[in-house]
Amino acid sequence: MESKHSYLIVTNNPLAKELIPADYAMDFEPISYREVLVKVRDMVYAGHRLYTHPLSGSIKPNETPYKSIVVSKLPKKMELDEAEIMSNSIVTYDKFPQVFRELPEGVLKDFQLIDYTLLCGALGLDAEAGLSNRNF
């Protein structure tokens, strides 16, 4: 991945917002996982490069409410393969039956932690170091 100054983290994960260092550009909104996918798809269509896969991790999109995706901060030219990845990711998301249920706070925190850990791995950050000053 390029320099941290050349990319943007698009996320709905409050833990990522809290623990990712402030010198990383972040677009945080409390929106749904699908809305994150649509937002990133629109950015990729506008020419932003896709740096992390929108369906990374082993948790099905209907099981977790959180998603963080890294894209280029500035648009350049639309890449057809990346646009296809984003479109296919939304189609895949829509194939899973949506389970609308109230999740206990502990489960939500677990899903936040999983997404945060995947994001740290992609950014080359030490997830454990970020968590060391936080109680779960």
The CA distances from residue 23 to 5, 82, 94, 122, in Å, are 8, 26, 34, 16
Report the amino acid identity of residue 111: F
First to last CA, the chain: 30
Tens digit of each residue's pLDDT (9 = 90 or more) over 55-82: 998 888 888 999 999 999 999 999 999 9
What is the C-alpha to C-alpha distance for residues 19 and 131, in angstroms, rounded to an integer? 7
Tens digit of each residue's pLDDT (9 = 90 or more) over 15-45: 999 999 999 999 999 999 999 999 999 999 9
